[in-house]
Amino acid sequence: MDELIASVVRGLGIGSTYALLGVGFVIIYRATKVINFAQPALMILGGYFTSLFATRAGLPFPVAVVAAMVAVAAIGALCERVALRPMVGEPPFAAAMVTVGVFIVLLIVAFRLIGTQVLTVGDPWGLSRTSVLGVSVAQVDIAKIVISLVAIGVIGVFLARSRLGLAMRATALDQEVALAQGVDVGRIFGLSWAIAGALAALAGMLIGTASGGIEATTALVALKALPVIILGGLDSIKGSVYAGLLIGVAESLTRTYQPEHAPFLGANFDVVVPYVIMMAVLMVRPYGLFGTPEVQRV
Amino acid sequence: MSVTTEGARRRGAGRGRPLLYTSYAADQAIWNTPAKRVWTLALLVAVLALPFYLDRDLTSLLTTVFVYAIGGIGLNLVTGYAGQVSLGHAFFLGLGAYTAAVFGGEATDDVVGLGLDMAIWLPLAGLVPALVGFAVAPLAARVRGLYLAILTLGLVFIGLHIFNEADSITGGAGVGRAPAEPVLFGVDLTTRFELFGTRVNRDMVYYILCLVVLVVLAVAARNLTRSKWGRAFAAVRDRDVAAEVMGVSLLRTKTLAFTISSFYAGIAGALLSVVVGRISPNTWDLFLSIDFLAVVLIGGVATITGSIMGAAFVVLLPRLVDELSAYLPFISGHTGEGFLSVFQLQTMIFGALIVLFLVLEPRGLYGLWVRVRNYWKAWPFSY
């Protein structure tokens, strides 16, 4: 039983970072109808900047995290302005391919900055454990869950309550009408990328905590957020939270139990579990769990 | 119409009006102008003669171009013509490579192999992925757009897992296995032999072989796109609801597109494994899929010629950067320290070019070519 609970908590921890990344994807998708394949690169840069500010520049950890989020938000907004703005009005797939190009360029930048070293982000949790309801769990997992859910909650409140959030929702609904109502749609695009960049930086920090550390190849972990957003529905923030947690837990449970109970599936089967779940769900619900079915006008 | 189309065309051409078409078939012909016919033939002859003048490594590089072109045409059929974005192309390439290896490779203690002739394993390397594509297609036909892109991305990851785990077929992670033996009709293609008094080495044989396969498959693809099915592809791409209303079955069209595309991918994968040599299962990853998408996008969406241009571009670009890097001071060579390594620069230029082409010339290299052609066609007038 302890093993099960520990596994579920670990899954929720990693799942909440997936959710964080997923929300970044969803915010960009809602504003611009583009899947941002550059998100993994933004995430790795976030981890790098956190490490830079916290361990080398010696800033206090929370300050370093916020500074990294601001830095990556700026990079995200810059990418949008340079590469994505000219693609407005082009088919979504072409724009998505542009983000693949941006991903490749940013990834090389990250490789160049990080090199072969393994960076620590200087987090205060380390490997220490705490007892919750009599079960020993890693503090890092608790931190991941709390920080992610708080960050997503803040984004949710921002979208629901603030004027700018209203403008973002209006843009998501209909760009031209939003423009006619005086919303600066271009700025909303930039803002969406900035928010997604900040969330990615936060996720990068969380993934680099504790035993893991950040390597240049850690970027590929963020690709797990793709099945998450498809599972949850491309345009649903709620969906990406649920799907992120679901996939995180499924992955963690597979890692715990599959080698023992289903060894024929091979080593590291947990890596493909998100994709298997995604395919199974798409069979039943082609627009994910919470996605809006596309209505076509004839 | 009872007029024989060929005759009608010829009369128009005979009077010095090569662009006068008197039938739909003549207008839709692959080589619909005399210039195209002459230049295609000239190009083919030049390409055939090329390996006799080139270094072995360049010959082998051009062979890779042909293989990428085959895979690129396959992806263009499903993504460019039928409009179904697939990130799963690498999976089908891998499937083709391992089908070939199982049927054509030699059995060792670790891996299975039947050691059959190339005349058997090459078609099988296309047919097995085609079957898998056929099985996956109904699944893919349910979802659209970016959902489909991610779904097919899942194929790559699941495929990588299977390839890494199926030790007896693929040799396992990090180890890999030898590819199929290129023995065609009992003749071992790896041995040197004399032809018309010239030494023909292995690279040249592969070159000719891949070129022949490419020409056959390219013409077949071009013919497919001119057929009823090709028009169905375009209809599904442009407006799927309208296509369905007009009686084009979405499921059947998409299934056909995926099946044929997988066939091409399988052939390309099998040839790639033979040309490259020993293959590790991790070759067939997301980045290979992105390479092929780049072939389609840089070459030109929904053109066969463009796919070949795109393949040449994507394969030759790293080599070109490699050659040029000697003259750039901030690039570290294979030994020294510099701002960027050659590989990093290659990858970066590759990414930047995808962005630039999509932003500046969405029709790709083929679009550039059409502009140049139209300029000179009307010269000295501007239109």
DSSP-assigned states of every residue in A63-105: HHHHHHHHHHHHHHHHHIIIIIGGGTTS-HHHHHHHHHHHHHH
The answer, yes or no, to whether ipTM is higher than 0.95 is: no
What pLDDT score does A210 carry? 63
Considering only CA atoms, which of A101, A106, A108 is closest in space to residue A84? A101
What pLDDT score does A93 carry? 76
* Cβ distance of B353 and A269 shorter than 8 Å: no
Dihedral of the alpha carbons of A36, A232, B285, B122, in degrees to the nearest 10:
-120
What pLDDT score does B339 carry? 63
What pLDDT score does B5 carry? 47
**Cα separation of B324 and B346, whole Å?**
11
Q: Which residues of A touch B151 (CB under 8 A)?
A: 230, 278-279, 282
* Cβ distance of A227 and B353 shorter than 8 Å: no
What pLDDT score does A101 carry? 84
Which has more confidence, A294 or A254? A254
Q: pLDDT digits over A93-151, tens only?
A: 778 888 888 888 888 888 888 877 777 777 777 667 777 766 777 778 888 888 899 99
What pLDDT score does B330 carry? 63
**Cα separation of A236 and A234, whole Å?**
6
What pLDDT score does B195 carry? 67
What pLDDT score does B4 carry? 46
What pLDDT score does A242 carry? 92
**Cα separation of B296 and A113, whole Å?**
31
Q: Compare CB distances from B351 to A95, A105, A112 and report the shortest one's residue.
A: A105
Q: Which site among B79, B139, B147 would you substitute to test the A interface, given the most A Cβ atoms closer than 10 Å to its Cβ?
A: B147
What pLDDT score does B3 carry? 44
What pLDDT score does B336 carry? 46
To which H or E segment does residue B306 belong? helix B304-324
C-alpha dist (Å) from residue A2 to A131, A135, A136, A145, A245: 12, 7, 8, 19, 19
pLDDT per residue of chain B (383 residues) written in tens, 0 to 9 = 444 445 444 554 455 676 778 888 887 888 877 778 888 899 888 888 888 888 878 888 899 999 999 999 999 999 889 888 888 899 999 999 888 888 887 777 777 777 778 788 889 889 999 999 998 888 888 887 778 888 888 889 888 888 888 777 777 777 777 777 777 776 777 776 766 667 777 788 888 889 999 999 999 999 999 889 999 999 988 888 888 898 888 889 999 999 999 999 999 999 998 888 878 888 888 888 888 988 888 888 889 989 999 999 988 888 888 888 777 766 655 444 556 677 777 777 888 888 788 778 888 889 888 888 888 888 888 76
Tokens 């209203």 appear where?
Answer: A166
**Whether the bond into B51 is cis, omega within 30 of 0:** no
Sign, CA torsion B316/B322/B325/B326: negative
**Out of A24-28, A66-70, B350-354, least confident range:** B350-354
What pLDDT score does A298 carry? 62
Which has more confidence, A168 or B383? A168
Q: Which site among B161, B292, B363 would you substitute to test the A interface, given the most A Cβ atoms closer than 10 Å to its Cβ?
A: B161
CB distance A92 to B149 below 8 Å: no
Strand partners, A130: A137
Phi then psi for B51, rounded to 5 degrees? -60, -20
Q: Which residues of B touch A233 (CB under 8 A)?
A: none
Phi then psi for A119, rounded to 5 degrees? -90, 145
Chain A, nearest residue to B362 by Cα: A94
Q: How far is CA B265 from its chain centroid?
A: 8
